[in-house]
Amino acid sequence: MTDNRFFNRSELIGILVLAVFLVVVLPLTLDVFRLNLVAKYLTYAFVALGLVICWGYGGILSLGQGVFFGLGGYCMAMFLKLEASSVENTKIQSTPGIPDFMDWNQITALPFFWKPFNSLTFTIAAIILVPGIFAWIIGTAMFKRRVGGTYFAIITQAVAAILTILIVGQQGYTGGINGMTDLRTLKGWDIRPDHAKIVLYFFEVGCLFVCIMIAQFVRHSKLGRILVAMREKEDRVRFSGYSVANFKIFAFCIAAMFAAIGGAMFALNVGFMSPSFVGIVPSIEMVIYTAVGGRLSILGAIYGTLLVNFAKTSLSETFPELWLFGLGGLFIAVVLAFPNGLAGIWGDYVQPRIDRLIASRKSKPDGWTDSSVADGAPAE
Amino acid sequence: MFGDYSLGDLGSIFVMQGFAGLILFSVYVLMALGLAIIFGQMGVINMAHGEFMILGAYVTWMTSNLFQSYMPGLFGGYFFLAMILAFLASGALGMLVEWVLIRHLYKRPLDTLLATWGLSLMLQQAYRSVFGAREVGVELPQWMLGSLHVTDSIEVPINGVFVMGLTVLITISVAYVMYKSRWGRQVRAVVQNRIMAGAVGINTEKVDRYTYGLGCGIAGIAGSAFTMIGSTGPTSGQLYIVDTFLVVVFGGAASLLGTIASAFSISQTQSTLEFFMSGSMAKVLTLLAVVGILMLRPQGLFALKVRK
């Protein structure tokens, strides 16, 4: 049962608890609207998961994860938009059969790079490959020249800025600042009604667990240990004969692909995609989720994402004046006092007590499940 | 793309766009100078730099309102007092932030980014609560309005000339302080080797605090100058932060001369391109060129040759 390749015993329990929480507890306790909100938050959890590998283990802070989130999301949205813009749906336009925003911008034919997105197979491949190849290009250019740390962070940030400006500027091809709205069906299956949203939620949770397994596998493989070694003493790893650049590129590409899957899920679950999820501000927020959850903890990143987003939604609903103060204060507190985030607090304070509790009365190990669920669901 | 213009027209276009670029250059230089000190010298990624700049802008706005209501006679000269106040306010806030926050993080430069991002969110909300969400504009004194006619087809706005003059002045003073004064020598010593600097009797903590304060103070002056050419809102600072970081990185992080050269090339490229295509494409092309060059030459234009 405890397969060394993926997880040890306590990690297995953690994953099961998360699975129960996401698959059973949340769908039973929340209405469809709130469940859809959770689905939206979980799309960011993909990004946070990628950042755990790239930043937590590899030590590469990327401030451009929004770029990959956006690329994945736009690939998905382009497919959905094309399907929503069939000739019957758009017959009032001057050129039927093209997306509405193209028609508004006096474009009369579908641009060549839109055409392949008529195929779902191509779209799914593009969701993974386009961001992956893009990350590979950036990573190769930077890491082969031994650019890292703060420089890398700033350059990825610039890339995020460039892509945002480009998307907003090229309104006719991308939908501009409004993004791609009014997405309707996936292969004829309507994604908007409540039951579709529930199906999509479970599909997303399934994908999330696949990604968690991949992340666990990377972490427990030799590769993961080299990543950690590289973060701690890069020169020693290099002198031991490893190609540091290739490992960094790998970590960065994995993070980019996870982010892209998250983006595609976003387009499916939320029903639109816009440049406001691509730029610098969302990219930094995604880093914050990881930092709050714990940059070294795969599960912590997911709880952190849920926690920050719940806090953001409920605070901005009730105290619109205060939530930026709260959010800002949270970042500062996490950085100053809890560099390992929620997972660090869990590991330092809660886990030892539970261990003692279990050790003192072996007959009732149920305390684990309850407290851990409470930890992940601070606001309803 | 040049076909529709005569040679004389093109000359004027280049001069006028060049001048618009010079104003952009001034803002870049003023913001980047502070950041070059904080990021280039101290290694702190100060994401709240734009907010320090906006503080300077708000101080200037308040000073101008004060002069307008109580000393209308002296209104022509309010800007000079406002600039000093902006420097002091931003500098003081900077020193406070260094004491509370930054000094714990010198060993973790990437974490300064997160912490200062949190700080910038809080400052933005503070500005929004205190000054309102709407952008505020400063009324310019009479002598700054209008423009100078150089030739028939070329004219330059006076406030732009003033901001440029100010930039030159500030740049020279910063260069003097950093490279000629005793204090600047201490700063450079601490940056190059903190332990040795401490060993020869430099109070490194104090130097850090004043260096950070100086960088923030210059950002305040930048904000003050910014009010001369645009209006200020709670989130205006964020618009410039990426550009400014790129300017500093492109110039070579530890070099003031490099910062100026890169601010010049980036702003001139952008404003010249802006005439021939949409503003957003001009910006995209400029930033792409900068990122491309940085990938080929990661150390920036002017690299400091230090053995690490």
Q: What is the dihedral of CA A209, A210, A215, A217, to 10 degrees?
A: 120
Structure-token pair, residue A229: 């070694």
Cross-chain residue pair B287–A158, CB shorter than 8 Å: yes
Q: What is the pLDDT of residues B65-89, one digit of tens each?
A: 888 888 777 777 788 888 899 999 9
Q: A278: which residues sit within 8 A by CB, 6+ positions away? A: A66, A67, A69, A70, A160, A163, A164, A167
Q: Which of A155, A159, A328 sits opposite B121 (nearest CB)?
A: A328
Strand A185-186 and strand B147-149: the pairing is unpaired
Structure-token pair, residue A59: 């030590």
Q: Which of B43, B104, B110 sits opposite A153 (nearest CB)?
A: B110
Q: Is the pLDDT of residue B11 over 80?
A: no
Confidence (pTM) = 0.85
Longest alpha-carbon distance in chain B: 67
Closest CA of chain A from B125, distance in Å: 6
Q: Is A229 on the interface with B (CB under 8 A)?
A: no
Minimal-distance CA residue of chain A relative to B287: A162
Q: Is A339 on the interface with B (CB under 8 A)?
A: yes
Q: A157: which residues sit within 8 A by CB, 6+ positions away? A: A63, A64, A280, A283, B242, B245
pLDDT tens, residue order, chain A (380 aa): 445 667 777 788 888 888 898 888 888 888 888 899 999 999 999 999 999 999 988 888 898 899 999 999 999 999 998 888 888 777 778 778 788 888 888 888 888 888 888 888 999 999 999 999 999 999 998 888 877 777 888 889 889 989 998 998 888 888 888 888 888 888 888 888 888 889 999 999 999 999 999 999 988 888 888 998 988 888 898 998 888 899 999 999 999 999 999 999 999 998 889 888 888 888 988 988 898 888 888 899 999 999 889 888 888 788 777 878 888 888 888 888 888 888 888 888 888 888 888 888 765 545 444 444 444 434 33
Chain A residue numbers with beta carbons less than 8 Å from the beta carbon of B111 are 335, 339
Q: Which of A150, A330, A339 sits opposite B109 (nearest CB)?
A: A150
Q: Angle, nearest 10°, between helix axes A298-318 and A280-293?
A: 120
Q: Which of A159, A284, A328 sits opposite B119 (nearest CB)?
A: A328
- What secondary structure, in 3-state letters, does B240-293 show? HHHHHHHHHHHHCCCCHHHHHHHHHHHHHHHHHHHHHCCHHHHHHHHHHHHHHH
Across A187-339, where does the E strand assignment appear?
A: 189-190
Residues 134-193 of A with CB under 8 A from B: 141-142, 145-147, 149-151, 153-155, 157-159, 161-162, 165-166, 168-169
Minimal-distance CA residue of chain B relative to A280: B242
Chain A residue numbers with beta carbons less than 8 Å from the beta carbon of B290 are 158
Cross-chain residue pair B45–A162, CB shorter than 8 Å: no
The number of C-beta contacts closer than 8 angstroms across A and B is: 114
Closest CA of chain B from A233, distance in Å: 15
Cross-chain residue pair A331–B278, CB shorter than 8 Å: no
- Phi, psi of B232, deg, nearest 5: -120, 130
Minimal-distance CA residue of chain B relative to A145: B298
Mutate to test the interface with A, among B39, B49, B117, B248 (most CBs of A within 10 A): B117
Q: What is the rounded distance in angstroms from the CA atom of residue B185 to the CA atom of residue B41?
A: 12
Helix (H/G/I), strand (E/B), else coil: B79: helix
Q: What is the rounded distance in angstroms from the CA atom of residue A346 to the CA atom of residue A234?
A: 29
Closest of A166, A187, A174, A199 to residue A272, by C-alpha:
A174
Closest CA of chain B from A50, distance in Å: 18
Chain A residue numbers with beta carbons less than 8 Å from the beta carbon of B105 are 335-336
Q: What is the rounded distance in angstroms from the CA atom of residue A183 to the CA atom of residue A186?
A: 9
Q: What is the rounded distance in angstroms from the CA atom of residue B281 to the CA atom of residue B287?
A: 10
